A and B are shown apart, each in its own frame.
Chain A
């Protein structure tokens, strides 16, 4: 207890381990948390639920659920840059955060942004920036806050899709909505799977003889353009040509 970090001593800390409500076990897709029990086809997504406009005070907001992965996003702006510096384009600022209780299979997340969260924030800016018409909003800043309430794989692609919906909900001018998806390469048999769960992601990133890893792609369906590709793990060249 003495080793607890300063910032956490001042907060009320819920138990490290959480128990899910019973009804979750009956929901479709919840079984997919176990590696052996993937209940859908290789090229099948988990079930989606999306809703916009759920945060009253934000300019735009969205909520996205992919089976057990739950993400909420709020957009604030475009608003004036606090310091009166001049820029012809608006600046998009993303803040990606895992809730402290987001992970069921690992230790509690810290309140401060860790390395992964900082990287995801940066990747989100990359994926979304090119879809927005930023020239329309000079001297402005658009703040995008994403919180992953529960992580069961696909947090980054879910966050990008969710943030793009929230941006559209905020009425910000954009060329197209960004939809993101992730695929995993199974190191054991070299199979490619769509929309891996967290357990699968962890397993695949360990790698093996046939490579193994996860690729996330941001895509604008209307314009037929890719806004971002992010790879984690080792994926052999020939797999990319599939």
Chain B
């Protein structure tokens, strides 16, 4: 449990180290302070102004509705509902909205749309790209409109536009699974956003709030040669389907309880739902949401 806790807090600890302070006790707020825009957070001086706050006459006010988070001297407000801001290196799950000249336009629930350059993908079979017009015309053989893909943020432009890339075998088109969208503020930065649960379900935790759930595929294919267009051919058994639905409902329960979403919290919720003998659909009844997310909510 203790190691899990550290794992969970690693993102915040990283921030503090950058400020040059020594982390002695990570300050976790268990009971949340909920604020509205324009509401006073503190009159005391000496606090650092974080996201979702603004300063006026030396006092700190909230600029979004959400939960106040304090990490030592830094105060920020985590919005209940906001667009995904984007950060370099984030794993995101997005949907292709347009096929343009040399780029795909991708919806990732950001302020501005994201783009995936033709030059920022690994071509099928690891082929080298010949910069020809024929190549551009073949773009639809790789990704077409409405395809779901997993990718990584390569660059964040000053106006908030995101440049994405799929230059790794683990990224690419997603098939044979289920998508669930949650508020992006709930997504926790963890070591591995491609997580394989022991009970045979894989999740891709996109930091933009899109989560892809599928069954674990054991493949021994050479990843260097793996085709990004690979479609899952394996049959999904009804047992797998139920597990996928259970994971989906657990994530939905976490989102409705405004609890952080990470492999740990999903696992806890999943186990709790089984311990309580709840069926898949029962997880989302209000009373049960409260029960199954009890442990996860403590991690807020």
Does A138 make an interface contact (CB < 8 A)? yes
Q: How far is the CB of B47 from chain A (nearest CB, A)?
A: 18
Pick the residue among B37, B56, B64, B160 that contacts A139 (CB under 8 A).
B160
Is A171's CB under 8 angstroms from B80's CB? yes
Q: How far is the CB of A61 from chain B (nearest CB, A)?
A: 11
Q: How far is the CA of A176 from the CA of B56 in the complex (A)?
A: 12
Q: How far is the CB of B155 from chain A (nearest CB, A)?
A: 16
Interface residues of chain B, those whose CB is within 8 Å of chain A, are 36-40, 52, 54, 56, 61, 63-66, 79-83, 111-113, 158-161
Is B37's CB under 8 angstroms from A168's CB? yes
Q: How far is the CB of A200 from chain B (nearest CB, A)?
A: 31
Q: How far is the CA of A138 from the CA of B161 in the complex (A)?
A: 10
Contacts of B158 in A (CB 8 A): 138
Q: How far is the CB of A81 from chain B (nearest CB, A)?
A: 9
User: What 9 A-B pairs come out closest when comparing CB atoms?
Assistant: A176-B38, A171-B82, A222-B38, A171-B79, A173-B63, A174-B37, A171-B81, A139-B159, A80-B112
Q: How far is the CA of A59 from the CA of B82 in the complex (A)?
A: 8
Question: Which residue from chain B places its CB closest to the CB of A78 in the assembled complex?
Answer: B111
Q: What are 10 A-B pairs with beta-carbon distances under 8 A?
A: A80-B111, A138-B158, A140-B160, A170-B81, A171-B64, A171-B83, A174-B37, A174-B63, A176-B38, A176-B61
Q: Could you tell me which residues of chain A, from 155 to 211, have a CB within 8 Å of some CB in chain B?
A: 168-177
Task: Please indicate which of the listed interface residues B65, B112, B113, B159 has the most CB atoms of chain A within 10 Å of its own CB.
Answer: B65
Does A73 make an interface contact (CB < 8 A)? no
Pick the residue among A133, A140, A169, A223 that contacts B65 (CB under 8 A).
A169
A-B contact count (CB 8 A): 73
Interface residues of A, count at CB 8 A: 25
Q: How far is the CB of B55 from chain A (nearest CB, A)?
A: 11
Q: A171-B64, A171-B81, A171-B82 are in contact. Are A133 and B54 (CB under 8 A)?
A: yes
Question: Which residue from chain A places its CB closest to the CB of B185 in the assembled complex?
Answer: A171
Q: A171-B80, A172-B64, A222-B61 are in contact. Are A140 and B111 (CB under 8 A)?
A: yes
Q: How far is the CA of A133 from the CA of B36 in the complex (A)?
A: 15
Is B81's CB under 8 angstroms from A220's CB? no
Is A140's CB under 8 angstroms from B112's CB? yes
Does A110 make an interface contact (CB < 8 A)? no
Is A175's CB under 8 angstroms from B81's CB? no
Contacts of A145 in B (CB 8 A): none
Q: How far is the CA of A169 from the CA of B64 in the complex (A)?
A: 9
Q: How far is the CA of A171 from the CA of B66 in the complex (A)?
A: 8
Q: How far is the CB of B292 from chain A (nearest CB, A)?
A: 23
Pick the residue among A79, A137, A176 that contacts B37 (CB under 8 A).
A176
Q: How far is the CB of B68 from chain A (nearest CB, A)?
A: 15
Contacts of A59 in B (CB 8 A): 81, 83
Does A236 make an interface contact (CB < 8 A)? no
